[in-house]
Amino acid sequence: MTTNTSLRDWVEQTAKLTRPDRIHWCNGSDIERDELIQQMLGTGDLIELNQATFPKCYLHRSNPSDVARVEHLTFICTPDQEDAGPNNNWMDPAAAHARIDALFAGCMQGRTMYVVPYCMGPINSPHSRCGVEITDSPYVVLNMRIMTRMGTPALHRIEQDGTFVRGLHSIGDLDPDKRFIMHFPEELSIKSIGSGYGGNALLGKKCHALRIASYQARTEGWLAEHMLIVGMENPRGEVHYVLGAFPSACGKTNLGMLIPPDTMPGWKVWTIGEDIAWLHVGSDGRLRAINPEAGFFGVVPGTSPKTNRNAYEMIHHDTIFTNVALTADNEPWWEGRTSGTPVIDWQGKPYDKATATTPAAHPNSRFTVSAKQNPAYSHLMEHPEGVPISAILFGGRRREVAPLVYEARDWAHGVMIGAGMASETTAAAVGQVGVVRRDSMAMKPFCGYNFADYWSHWLSFEGRAKQLPKVYHVNWFRQDRDGKFLWPGFGDNLRVLSWIIDRCEGRAQAKETPIGFLPRPEDIDLKGINLSDDALQQLMNIDQSAWHAEIEDIGKYLESYGTRVPQQLKDKHRQVQRALG
């Protein structure tokens, strides 16, 4: 078992509460994985896919009422409600424990309790943090094995460090009325019941690496962010790393795995991360990033050889698919896959594409895959100090208002842009899709404390680092009147990144506007893409009256956080408002 007595005691107490038939300590071995797969094939928890075309690939169908994160059932439980802030649902810690422990009582009867030690970040990095997830879901175990460094090495590190985040999870009876995702940041603990899906259940991911970690990061002087990390080398041989904070299902995995367009020869791109980044100021005074994860839990719909060839190839072996459709050949199928025809939908029901009114794959269907299967995998993912960051992108889905790209004047202005960003909601969370909402730094569902304090923490990096990244806002999702995207996106986003890198190198031109610096059409490499004058006009200009309304709305949003909002942020906001006239 383990030499760590507090871990031993916790497992024992949890077993007393949840009353499992068996306890299994996970070591992370291949044998353990293969046994779990065999067992799940037997129970129907996994379905074997076509092993000739998709070797070692399996399908899992989650309960139809359990297909996405549940923000309304997610709580931050701090003694003082003000510390959780208006951005979070809050419950008093004692009341929360009582409420959720009542649901955990006896919930694992007839089941195996898995004890899953994991490490977020490279095993030998001083910035990595460990946790243990106790779960009764073998699907969660299989996913955690891909998404984290799971098993014996993590347990050894826990025994050395002496500390770990405790995550207790049970699928319960999957009743949405008995579903809670609760966080106790001061106790470094998480309790989640009633869901087996993604961020609700793989506790190393959003619960630990964002909500708990962001809380710790604030007191310890670092940042835990919902960001991709991508590396690039341009034809001049200059290497730059860029972070991108986009809300769920808004393009992190795709930008992190970007493939240069044919018209941009000589560019190389590699992935460090595609969902979460932990940021520290390095000994050189620069902001550096590690990816705490080891795998990708990515959106399947839209993945094709055209949009993202690397992702498409990467998920043809050793992949767990969740809630995709099936073809007659037993291959996985999803909207946007350019070949095959679905005959069974994500719920396992017969599907006829000709008459169907709903998608065959769930819009939030996902692949789970090891980062090492990415053709653009970089061994720098294992670098204990991470990579130095040149630029930070904030962005969202905005069919209107936000131009293709603009640059902040300075760090504090960049923080204001990140704080004020907004995006249309997506299928990654339960609720209405396509509604514009403010989502500061793409962290609305994930910041474990009061946003006003979080903005102050961001501002404080001016005093911590010698050289901070330049900050940008991007929007790949502008639409014309018919709802067609104005910008080709995907690999062509490198055209925007190329301008950003040139700006970082002090080369590229821009025009100054009230909201920041925008490229002129001639500043961006548009060779080989066909954009109408009208599209260019919309992508690379600001609409004064739309921006008046936008900046006013951002002002109201900041005000709604009350007296804790840093004055510097309000000043930056007022500056832009004044410049707009």
Partner from Mn ion, ligand SPV, ligand GTP, none contacting 490, C-beta within 5 to 8 A by type: ligand GTP
Query: In the 8-state DSSP scheme, what is residue 19?
Result: -
Which residue's CB is nearer to Mn ion, number 32 or number 275? 275
Q: How far is the CB of 157 from Mn ion (least distance, A)?
A: 25
Partner from Mn ion, ligand GTP, ligand SPV, none contacting 476, C-beta within 5 to 8 A by type: ligand GTP
Q: What are residue 115's DSSP bridge partners?
A: 25, 134
Is 269 within 8 Å of 376 (Cβ atoms)?
A: yes
Query: In the 8-state DSSP scheme, what is residue 250?
Result: S
Total Cβ atoms within 10 A of residue 310: 20
Tell me phi and psi for residue 178, to 5 degrees. Answer: -120, 40
Partner from ligand GTP, ligand SPV, Mn ion, none contacting 493, C-beta within 5 to 8 A by type: ligand GTP
CA–CA separation, 480 and 251 (whole Å)? 19
Is 565 within 8 Å of 558 (Cβ atoms)?
A: yes
Is 313 within 8 Å of 320 (Cβ atoms)?
A: no
β-pair type (189-193, 180-184): antiparallel
Applying the rule CB under 5 A, the residues between 241 and 260 that interact with Mn ion are 248
Return the structure tokens found at 175: 């009743």
CA–CA separation, 335 and 319 (whole Å)? 18
DSSP secondary structure string, 434-478?
Answer: S-EEE-GGG-TTT-SS-HHHHHHHHHTHHHH-SBPPEEEEE-S--
Helix (H, G, I), strand (E, B) or coil at 191: strand
Which residue of 206, 211, 413, 438 would you call a contact of ligand SPV, by CB under 6 A?
206
Q: How far is the CB of 511 from ligand GTP (least distance, A)?
A: 24
The window from 152-160, 199-207, 411-419, 468-476 that contacts ligand SPV (CB under 6 A) reads 199-207
Which residue's CB is nearer to ligand SPV, number 64 or number 221? 64
Is 183 within 8 Å of 448 (Cβ atoms)?
A: yes
Return the structure tokens found at 540: 């690379």
Q: How far is the CB of 359 from ligand GTP (least distance, A)?
A: 11
Q: How far is the CB of 226 from Mn ion (least distance, A)?
A: 6
Applying the rule CB under 6 A, the residues between 377 and 436 that interact with ligand SPV are 428
Q: Does 198 participate in binding ligand SPV (rule CB under 6 A)?
A: yes
CA–CA separation, 203 and 444 (whole Å)? 18
Q: Does 199 participate in binding ligand SPV (rule CB under 6 A)?
A: yes
Residues contacting Mn ion: total by CB under 5 A:
2
Catalytic residue among 119, 250, 447, 504: 250
The window from 129-137, 156-164, 165-173, 198-206 that contacts ligand SPV (CB under 6 A) reads 198-206
Which residue's CB is nearer to ligand GTP, number 93 or number 247? 247
Q: How far is the CB of 244 from ligand SPV (least distance, A)?
A: 13
Q: Does 275 participate in binding Mn ion (rule CB under 5 A)?
A: yes
Residues contacting ligand SPV: total by CB under 6 A:
9
Q: Is 77 a catalytic residue?
A: no
Token pair 């009341």: residue: 95
Tell me phi and psi for residue 542, to 5 degrees. Answer: -115, 140
Which residue's CB is nearer to ligand GTP, number 252 or number 413? 252
For the stretch 231-255, what's the b/e string if a residue is b when 16 or more beta carbons lie within 10 angstroms of its beta carbon? Answer: bbebeeeeebbbbbbbbbbbbbbbb
Partner from ligand GTP, Mn ion, ligand SPV, none contacting 206, C-beta within 5 to 8 A by type: ligand SPV
Q: How far is the CB of 228 from ligand GTP (least distance, A)?
A: 7
Nearest Cα to Cα of residue 373 among 466, 296, 473, 276: 296
Nearest Cα to Cα of residue 474 among 409, 513, 543, 423: 423
Partner from ligand GTP, ligand SPV, Mn ion, none contacting 558, C-beta within 5 to 8 A by type: none
Binding residues for ligand GTP (CB under 6 A): 246, 248-254, 274-275, 298-299, 301-302, 307, 428, 476, 485, 489-490, 493
Q: How far is the CB of 252 from ligand GTP (least distance, A)?
A: 3
Q: How far is the CB of 199 from ligand GTP (least distance, A)?
A: 9
Which residue's CB is nearer to ligand GTP, number 45 or number 275? 275
Which residue's CB is nearer to ligand GTP, number 148 or number 493? 493
Q: Does 69 participate in binding ligand SPV (rule CB under 6 A)?
A: yes
Round the CA-based radius of gyration of the chain to a whole number and report it: 23
Which residue's CB is nearer to ligand SPV, number 234 or number 368? 368
Partner from ligand SPV, ligand GTP, Mn ion, none contacting 151, C-beta within 5 to 8 A by type: none
The window from 99-107, 117-125, 197-205, 324-332 that contacts ligand SPV (CB under 6 A) reads 197-205
Count of H-run helices and E-run strands, the chain: 17, 31
Q: How far is the CB of 308 from ligand GTP (least distance, A)?
A: 7
Total Cβ atoms within 10 A of residue 30: 8
CA–CA separation, 464 and 445 (whole Å)? 27
Helix (H, G, I), strand (E, B) or coil at 228: strand
Which residue's CB is nearer to ligand SPV, number 417 or number 428? 428
Q: What angle do CA 338, 340, 341 make, to 5 degrees?
A: 115
Which residue of 10, 241, 296, 297 would you call a contact of ligand SPV, by CB under 6 A?
297
Return the structure tokens found at 280: 């520290």
Partner from ligand GTP, ligand SPV, Mn ion, none contacting 122, C-beta within 5 to 8 A by type: none
Tell me phi and psi for residue 257, to 5 degrees. Answer: -115, 20
Q: Which residues have a catalytic role annotated?
A: 250
Give the interface with ligand SPV as residue ranges (CB under 6 A). Answer: 69, 198-199, 205-206, 248, 275, 297, 428
Give the interface with Mn ion as residue ranges (CB under 5 A). Answer: 248, 275
